[in-house]
Chains A and B, each alone.
Chain A
């Protein structure tokens, strides 16, 4: 029976062999790893503050979406103390209706906010893209037009968000 170290050593040999086979077969063209590494470093070096800020925004929006699944099951009732744990569970059961109501409001707010951000992100990207592609001879009038369009859209979205929030506050809704 092979020892644990033998087993992993054998696996490593098979992996090495397979890399060689794929290189010979052309699945991994010569210099592929170096090419991928150069590509990554090219992106890394090309990151100016605008692109970096947009990527940060994109990561932040993705993170916000990840946090916006409001669910009653996410409200923790656990405690080290079994008596407190029981109390938390009982209170949780007694206030289910209220908690659910708050979560419904939050969910609506989350959807509306997501809509705003989803609409804004491509605008911000296109504005930054035109700036970075435009180089030294940037066209201010073109940027102004885009900016006004963006501001108009923000106003529209703000109105829609306000209406949506008002509707969610309306008990008859």
Chain B
């Protein structure tokens, strides 16, 4: 019996990293006891994730902890730096702190601290994974070498298998007029939801097109989505829907109804919503930043890094006018997402782990 637990900085009910940890827990439990611990949990808690303070510090040097790194936290660092267990790092990248400086300075500091903590933990990490080539390159900048690139625990078809929530489907029928542009992601500064609102403003008030824009995801930094919503209100932008956090079946309904997935994010380590969009046959428009080119390949339309709302609006117009191109992109997306084979990735993860455990 090999006891391997996972440690996360933060967990959410439908958070992508939490879902990856859940998938890994399933396979780790074939080896022995395995739990997920997180420092930050929603106030109501999460049924299958334990708070970090419950982590037993009586482990031995023969045991292993899988640490999912996505940000800094002094409590997580203190634990990892002091336990006897060996550490396996799974790196999901850390958002660029400079985009948070004006909006949430405390969080910006935690992000900077995340990189410093990774550097300090390096001697204790005996195996490092990154979930994209881009993330591996970033990890090398803090001194890690020998990194295995593998997106273990990513199940892009998770939502595709669900029956869409009928009430959400019904709601979309009422609220969506014309084509549906969707975006899924946390409301944080580097995701730039305001660019999507400004794009919708240009589409509806400068170009004379009237799609509906659905912005889905929790407001991790409340001001960000709130200010975007306020801008939509002040500019009287029609068809802007802020759905907040949805359940998986509700989200499945949005993917099913969507015509395009649009993201203006300035930084992506992997971007699981894009994989989910491709699995659902929804063409993707985004910026050529971070891991986006690796994730999307030729299945999505990637705009330059500095693309603004004007270019996004024209890209949406181009794709809405060209049903053939949209269909071909959807087809290529479905092919592309098959390359993220969860079973094979998880098997490789276990194989690598078995060599050292």
Using a CB–CB cutoff of 8 Å, the interface residues on chain A facing chain B are 4-5, 7-8, 11-12, 14-16, 18-19, 22-23, 27-28, 32-33, 36-37, 39-41, 43-45, 47, 52, 55-56, 58-59, 62-63, 66, 69, 71, 73-74, 76, 78
A22 touches B310 (CB 8 A): yes
Q: How large is the interface on B (under 10, 10 to 19, 20 to 34, 35 or more residues)?
A: 35 or more
Q: Which of A7, A33, A59 meets B226, CB within 8 Å?
A: A59
Q: Which of A18, A23, A39 meets B231, CB within 8 Å?
A: A39
**Can you give 25 A-B contacts (C-beta < 8 A)?**
A4-B328, A4-B332, A7-B325, A8-B301, A12-B303, A15-B303, A15-B315, A18-B314, A22-B314, A23-B310, A36-B231, A37-B308, A40-B194, A40-B227, A43-B234, A47-B226, A55-B222, A55-B230, A59-B219, A59-B229, A59-B244, A63-B245, A69-B167, A69-B171, A74-B165
Residues of chain B lying within 8 A (CB to CB) of residue A55: 222, 226, 229-230
B242 at the interface (CB under 8 A from A): yes
Q: Interface on chain A toward B: helix, strand, loop, or mixed SS?
A: helix
Residues of chain A lying within 8 A (CB to CB) of residue B163: 78
Tell me the minimal C-beta distance from B334 to chain A in angstroms: 13
Q: Which of B207, B228, B310 meets A40, CB within 8 Å?
A: B228
Residues of chain B lying within 8 A (CB to CB) of residue A18: 314, 317-318
Residues of chain A lying within 8 A (CB to CB) of residue B242: 59, 62
Tell me the minimal C-beta distance from A94 to chain B in angstroms: 21
With A16-B311, A19-B311 as contacts: A43 and B230 at CB distance below 8 Å: yes
Which single residue of chain A is at the shortest CB-CB distance from B331? A4
B298 at the interface (CB under 8 A from A): yes
With A8-B301, A33-B308 as contacts: A44 and B227 at CB distance below 8 Å: yes
Which single residue of chain B is at the shortest CB-CB distance from A54? B226
